[in-house]
Structure 1
């Protein structure tokens, strides 16, 4: 049976490994739906239970799961919160294109160079939110909507997502809240739409390179969608205060995680 599964899914995973993978995919979907960063959970687990996989296959298969969960969370949040369609139409193609370009260039840029910069950005974002309790608590209709700056931010963050990725959802929420004067809840809904596009852009490059393990990815995608739906309900129930707490928690966890990777 184990040999049959290995041939069918293209990877050698023990029975307990499958249970761990499905659980990790569900948890990653929940985390991605709440604030982003699910890849920090699923990618290490996938590498641990299937050490024979190439890094490209791990990243590609994770992207298939992530795009499924994020898209389902986006749909759930849009139905309850709504989203500015004119902004979504403007941001989505830019996000997909820039993420795809980043994925193409990913192999040529050192992760050891990027991690310190990301850690600094994370700590700066966390400090800003911690010192401004009112940040993202409510929308500011009268404030100027800096759409061009927001579009530039989307392009840069999407490019970063294609190259490296950790914290993409959080950076998008911060950008939309600060530049478009949205509350954290509405910024989160728009983020899920744009983040789906960044995932699609990167996934397209992985598909073109033949790196996706489709059957494994579909199993993980189903689990990721289940977790994402729970995450979307958590966001709707918790509101902006919960999102602010989740954002600060992610800053701490990601800063520690990336620092360990950098200096271990």
Structure 2
């Protein structure tokens, strides 16, 4: 499809902002997917193009965290494999099964994540209780959340982060860094299936990918520099926004009847 230079420039800026937010708290898709649809991209191609460009943002943030020593890829190797398998399975299955059940459950999960970060007095390593072992974390969390991202997607970053904090006992900065590794893994796995189907629009996707890469790098810098001071409120905000958006889409007529 033909897209004007003005629209491409706007999509580039939106992708940059989304990459910045995604690197810290997740939820950048709330900006990019509506922008693609507003630009006239058909829904299926919008989803595929969104995965294409978001993969660059998560890769950019992941690379920055690895280079600055916040993540050891060898230690996360099994979690990466499990996440890839889960996401690939979800991406394949979503083509055959209605995702409406997950759509109904996810707003409640996102609200719970928001409340946890809002009410928890501190988000830091928990030394009093034994964390979930890396193998079980990879098998359970990596596979299940990866499957969810391939199957549906909203809030994946927030879900990974809260699991790393609650079950892995990582600090919020460490959890955010590890989240981006697994989020990139699930993005890449789902993108593979979209590429096989020939759905992404390359011209739009690559322009947005540059914006995502830059935004993801800047967001990762802020994570290291500002830590919990910025991440915590962003996780709360993006989780609540995603929950409200999904609830509105599901129950729009009911809300309108009230007001």
TM-score by length of 1: 0.89
> C-alpha distance in 1, partners of 2:116/2:26?
18
Secondary structure at the aligned position of 1:108 is classed as coil
Q: What's the CA shift string for 1:70-115, capped at 9, x where partnerless?
A: 1111111222342243441011111111111111122333343322
CA contact (8 A) 1:36 1:170 kept: yes
Q: What's the CA shift string for 1:115-134, capped at 9, x where partnerless?
A: 22001111122222222121
Corresponding residue number in structure 2 for 1:145: 131
Corresponding residue number in structure 1 for 2:10: 20
Moved more, 115-124 or 80-89: 80-89
Displacement of 1:142: 6.0
Q: Which sections of structure 2, spanning at least 5 residues, go unmatched?
A: 253-259
Displacement of 1:21: 0.9
Moved more, 75-84 or 95-104: 75-84
Aligned length: 250
CA contact (8 A) 1:81 1:186 kept: no
Counterpart pick for 1:231 among 213, 219, 243: 219
Corresponding residue number in structure 2 for 1:115: 103
Corresponding residue number in structure 2 for 1:39: 29
Counterpart pick for 2:172 among 184, 187, 200: 184
Displacement of 1:172: 0.3
CA contact (8 A) 2:145 2:159 kept: yes
> C-alpha distance in 2, partners of 1:261/1:234?
32
TM-score by length of 2: 0.90
Corresponding residue number in structure 1 for 2:91: 103
CA contact (8 A) 1:149 1:179 kept: no
Displacement of 1:15: 3.5
Q: What's the CA shift string for 1:128-173, capped at 9, x where partnerless?
A: 2222121x2x323564231244220121111110111111011001
Corresponding residue number in structure 2 for 1:161: 149
CA contact (8 A) 1:157 1:168 kept: yes
* Pair 97,105 (structure 1): closer, same or farther in 2 beyond 3 Å: same
Q: Which sections of structure 1, spanning at least 5 residues, go unmatched?
A: 1-10
Displacement of 1:250: 1.2
Matches within 5 A, 1:206-245: 206-245=194-233
> C-alpha distance in 1, partners of 2:177/2:89?
25
CA contact (8 A) 2:66 2:72 kept: no
> C-alpha distance in 2, partners of 1:218/1:142?
46
CA contact (8 A) 2:113 2:158 kept: no
CA contact (8 A) 2:66 2:73 kept: no
Counterpart pick for 1:171 among 156, 159, 164: 159
CA contact (8 A) 1:173 1:184 kept: yes
